[in-house]
Amino acid sequence: MSSSTNHIVSHVRPCTSQQELDSLLSAHRCVAIDFTSKNCGPCRMISPEFDRLITEINETYQPLGAMNIPSAPVLGLSVELGFAQNLAAAYGVTATPTFIFFLDGKKFHEFRGADVQKLKSAI
């Protein structure tokens, strides 16, 4: 029998390089990225909500039929601009927080700001 599931594991992980991001985009069908900055007040407000939403969707996900879907259905990434200026530049991120969403390795949605409703709708 499985043990109690009182402890929720976050599905958001840090990403600091283009090589790492390219590898993750190839390995995961759906990827959501939170471009953040440690000195950004709105980032500190919405980053925990991003983490909660990504974790919640992955904890409650039920695959359909016998589809073999690797790992989490939505991979959440956090890109701290202080450690990954190159990624911010590569994706045209000029303000934080910025959220970028990928499906099958292609960017399909982006928005800026700490709008929880927009974040919920996007995820």
74 within 8 A of 57, measured Cβ to Cβ: yes
> From the candidates 15, 25, 43, 74, which is the catalytic residue?
43
40 is catalytic: yes
Rounded Cα distance, 115 and 9, in Å: 24
> From the candidates 24, 30, 40, 122, which is the catalytic residue?
40
Q: Measured over all CA atoms, what is the biggest interatomic distance in the chain, rounded to whole angstroms?
A: 49
Rounded Cα distance, 123 and 110, in Å: 11
Coil, strand or helix at 110:
strand
Enumerate the active-site residues. Answer: 40, 43
